């Protein structure tokens, strides 16, 4: 909310009414649902805070770009150093063995993935020793994500890197596709290698049976959603219904909102998600430097599909900073593309020749 206020009082601020009224509507419905379901007051305060944090998505400003980039880069360095330090000191690397300052194991990997595009962008724009430093940081980021052994994080990292590589780079795209095809063709032989097989087991990609599969969590949640379509079961109440699985949320942002405060709330959030995902779709027709600024949204949504980062307002602030950067890039691209070619030529020639 402070971010929204700072953006609002900047001269170049832009407002997005759908996100503003969406955050207000979600908060109002949460209060009504709390009253109708007599939910615990503490849970109401928490869920209300989560929904109100979305108001940060309603404003953007180029003047806050420096803060957003500093916030993203400092988080990248903190999380990467934290994971590498604890990964080095543990005797046997195992999933969730590394403690975290982010609120969830998967969220650490997600936040690093959300900052990978910024590191890639700076590495592309730099040269010499600075470029080497950013490339080394990029490598350490990837190692940190692997050390977290988050399946979602590893998948999200591969998606971000693939989209970056395949965008406007035909040679690397062909090479990358050839490597994937070769890995698929010789997958049986590769899987028989002891080192590879042990690594896949540690990463929980093979021979892993979850205690609470996502399909079971979603089925239980959907059953309660359709039994309480309008206002849900109440803020914080999903914890009670999912306690049989020893979990406290539905492992999906939209399902979690529908579970807590009903289908109307889920529809509002789904609209906001669609508008955010439209940014990378739209910028895919722009330059790679502009497109890469929208990739953090893809990383966040990938995690939101199997997790519930909306339950952590700090993660929403991180998303707000990334979205601000994507919008700034979009408007800079729009301003550049709005200049007709003949006008661009006029700038390079004299006024007389243009006339």
| DSSP state string for 225-293 | HHHSTTT-S-TTTHHHHTGGGT-SS-SSHHHHHHHHH-HHHHHHHHHHHHHHHHHHHHHTTS-HHHHGG
Interhelix angle 105-125/313-337, nearest 10 degrees: 30
Report pTM.
0.84
Residue 267 to residue 252: CA distance in whole angstroms? 14
pLDDT in tens, the chain (355 residues): 899 999 888 888 899 999 999 999 999 999 999 888 876 667 889 999 999 999 999 999 999 999 999 999 999 999 999 888 887 776 666 656 777 766 667 888 899 999 999 999 899 888 889 999 999 999 999 999 888 877 788 888 888 888 888 776 656 666 766 776 676 566 666 666 777 667 666 666 665 556 667 788 888 899 999 999 999 998 988 888 887 777 888 889 999 999 999 999 999 999 999 999 999 888 887 777 888 899 999 999 989 988 889 988 889 999 999 999 999 988 877 655 544 333 333 444 444 444 4
Residue in 48, 70, 4, 109 with CA at minimum distance from that of residue 320: 4
């Amino acid at each position: 909310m402070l971010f929204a206020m700072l953006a609002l009082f900047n001269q170049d601020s832009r407002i997005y009414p759908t996100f503003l009224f969406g955050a207000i509507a979600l908060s109002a419905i949460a209060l009504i649902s709390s009253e109708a379901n007599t939910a615990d007051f503490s849970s109401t305060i928490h869920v209300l805070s989560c929904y109100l944090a979305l108001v940060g998505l309603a404003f953007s400003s180029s003047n806050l770009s420096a803060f957003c980039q500093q916030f993203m880069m400092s988080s990248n360095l903190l999380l990467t150093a934290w994971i590498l330090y604890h990964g080095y000191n543990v005797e046997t690397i195992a999933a969730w063995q590394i403690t975290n300052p982010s609120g969830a194991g998967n969220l650490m990997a997600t936040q690093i993935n959300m900052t990978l595009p910024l590191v890639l962008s700076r590495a592309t724009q730099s040269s010499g020793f600075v470029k080497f430093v950013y490339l080394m940081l990029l490598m350490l980021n990837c190692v940190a994500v692997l050390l977290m052994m988050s399946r979602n994080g590893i998948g999200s990292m591969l998606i971000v890197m693939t989209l970056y590589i395949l965008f406007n780079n035909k040679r690397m795209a062909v090479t990358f596709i050839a490597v994937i095809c070769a890995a698929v063709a010789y997958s049986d032989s590769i899987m028989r290698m002891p080192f590879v097989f042990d690594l896949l087991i540690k990463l929980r990609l093979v021979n892993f049976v979850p205690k609470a599969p996502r399909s079971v969590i979603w089925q239980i949640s959907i059953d309660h959603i359709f039994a309480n379509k309008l206002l849900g079961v109440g803020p914080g109440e999903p914890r009670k219904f999912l306690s049989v699985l020893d979990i406290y949320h539905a492992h999906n942002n939209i399902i979690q909102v529908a579970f807590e405060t009903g289908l109307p709330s889920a529809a509002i959030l789904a609209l906001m998600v669609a508008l955010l995902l439209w940014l990378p779709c739209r910028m895919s027709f722009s330059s790679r430097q502009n497109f890469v600024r929208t990739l953090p949204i893809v990383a966040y949504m990938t995690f939101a599909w199997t997790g519930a980062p909306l339950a952590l307002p700090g993660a929403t602030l991180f998303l707000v900073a990334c979205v601000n950067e994507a919008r700034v890039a979009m408007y800079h691209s729009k301003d550049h593309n709005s200049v007709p070619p003949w006008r661009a030529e006029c700038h390079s020639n004299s006024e007389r020749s243009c006339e």
